[in-house]
């Protein structure tokens, strides 16, 4: 029988941040080593019904498997910005787990996109923990949606002295600032995109923007770009990818097709995170090197978090028998 898991049931089954970051690192390594199969991403743009309709959004379908895992996974995740006015989460979707042996559908995770948001935020924190400049003091978060909130919640223990909030509206920025304070951030400021990114040591971009929001960053900064996960999306201005820059990507194929890497200048190479030697030499050639992590999201991340949650659900079910 297919096990259907509601979002409320799976919340307690999500691993803590340290384990999530390890799982994301492993997912990147398995992907780059060729130990996984990942299908091409399907993008679905859902148009509003009419000019007065605030609905519509963007969804993607990602699928694949990691060799040796019990399941292969199909993930549907969408972002519908008009949902906030309806009292709904902007993130929607589910994950389907099929047996790698028989192909049978075994588990449906009705997560409403939450697991995608969680693994995205965990991947951002993995990049922060590994690539932030020495003695990084300030974290700038662009955007105030679900992923931005998860990054703020997770990053509170990563050693920053304060967080800078930037949003399109002062109202959303103020609400986010209050949220950040409730999660333990003692120092919270609100600044424009340009002002925040010009002085922050670490910048995490979490918007669906189709136009550059980050005109430039200071030497030695870390930029984690999460928003450019589909055609036409872009958060970084041309200057960010010029000069002394190292460009890390989750998938070279995806990022060069529709991530920030699509806009890179000729001659700037890309290096997959799964190819990076995490315990090897320092990631920066010099302290002034800017590192940009272009994360479009890959199916092996979905496989990792879906299997972890499913295994925890099964363990609890078996214990209750």
pLDDT tens by residue, 263-273:
999 999 999 99
Residue 150 included in any domain: yes
Section 224-250 average pLDDT: 95
Residues 110 and 235 both lie in one domain: no
Res. 107 pLDDT band, cuts 50 70 90:
very high
Residue 237 included in any domain: yes
CATH number assigned to the domain comprising residue 288: 3.40.50.720
Residues 239 and 227 both lie in one domain: yes
Section 78-97 average pLDDT: 86
Q: Which carries the bigger pLDDT value, residue 235 or residue 51?
A: 235
Section 201-225 average pLDDT: 96
Residues 167 and 277 both lie in one domain: yes
Res. 307 pLDDT band, cuts 50 70 90:
very high
Per-residue pLDDT, 250? 97
Residues 68 and 172 both lie in one domain: no
pLDDT tens by residue, 157-176:
999 999 999 999 999 999 99
Residues 304 and 292 both lie in one domain: no
CATH number assigned to the domain comprising residue 304: 3.30.1780.10
Residue 104 included in any domain: yes
Section 41-47 average pLDDT: 90
Per-residue pLDDT, 121? 98
3-state secondary structure the chain: CCEEEEHHHHHHHCCCHHHHHHHHHHHHHHHHCCCEEECCCEEEEECCCCCCCCCCEEEEEEEEEECCCCEEEEEEEEECHHHHHHCCCCEEEEEEEEECCCCCEEEEEECCCHHHHHHHHHHHHHHHHHHCCCCCCEEEEECCCHHHHHHHHHHCCCCCCEEEEECCCHHHHHHHHHHHHHCCCCCEEECCHHHHHHHCCEEEECCCCCCCCECCCCCCCEEEECCCCCCCCCCECHHHHCCCEEEEECCHHHHHHHCHHHHCCCCCCEEEHHHCCCCCCCCCCCCCCEEEEECCCCHHHHHHHHHHHHHHHHHHHHHHC
Q: For residue 231, give its domain range.
A: 127-297
Section 37-65 average pLDDT: 87
Residue 53 reports pLDDT greater than 90: no
Number of separate domains in the chain: 2
Residues 93 and 174 both lie in one domain: no
Average pLDDT, the chain: 94
Q: Which carries the bigger pLDDT value, residue 91 or residue 152?
A: 152
């Amino acid at each position: 029988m297919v096990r259907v898991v509601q979002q409320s049931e799976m919340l307690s089954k999500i691993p803590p941040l340290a384990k999530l970051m390890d799982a994301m690192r492993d997912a990147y390594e398995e992907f780059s080593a060729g130990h996984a199969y990942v299908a091409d991403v399907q993008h679905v743009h859902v148009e509003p019904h009419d000019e007065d309709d605030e609905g519509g959004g963007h969804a993607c379908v990602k699928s694949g498997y990691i060799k040796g895992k019990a399941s292969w996974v199909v993930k549907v995740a969408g972002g519908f910005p008009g949902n906030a006015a309806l009292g709904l989460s902007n993130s929607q979707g589910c994950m389907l787990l099929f047996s790698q042996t028989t192909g049978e559908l075994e588990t449906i995770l009705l997560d409403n996109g939450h697991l995608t948001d969680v693994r995205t935020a965990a991947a951002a924190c993995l990049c922060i923990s590994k690539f932030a400049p020495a003695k990084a003091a300030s974290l700038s978060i662009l955007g105030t949606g679900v992923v931005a909130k998860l990054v703020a919640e997770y990053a509170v223990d990563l050693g920053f002295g304060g967080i800078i909030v930037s949003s399109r509206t002062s109202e959303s920025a103020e609400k986010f600032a209050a949220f950040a304070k409730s999660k333990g951030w003692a120092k919270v400021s609100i600044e424009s995109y340009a002002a925040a990114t010009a002085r922050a040591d670490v910048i995490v971009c979490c918007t669906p923007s189709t136009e550059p929001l980050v005109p430039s960053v200071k030497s030695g900064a870390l930029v984690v770009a999460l928003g450019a996960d589909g055609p036409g999306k872009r958060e970084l201005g041309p200057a960010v990818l010029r000069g002394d820059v190292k460009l890390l990507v989750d998938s070279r194929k995806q990022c060069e097709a529709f991530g920030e890497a699509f806009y890179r200048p000729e001659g700037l190479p890309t290096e997959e995170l799964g190819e990076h030697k995490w315990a090897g030499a320092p990631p920066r050639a010099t302290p002034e090197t800017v590192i940009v992590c272009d994360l479009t999201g890959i199916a092996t991340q979905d496989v990792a978090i879906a299997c972890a949650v499913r295994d925890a659900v099964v363990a609890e079910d078996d214990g209750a028998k």
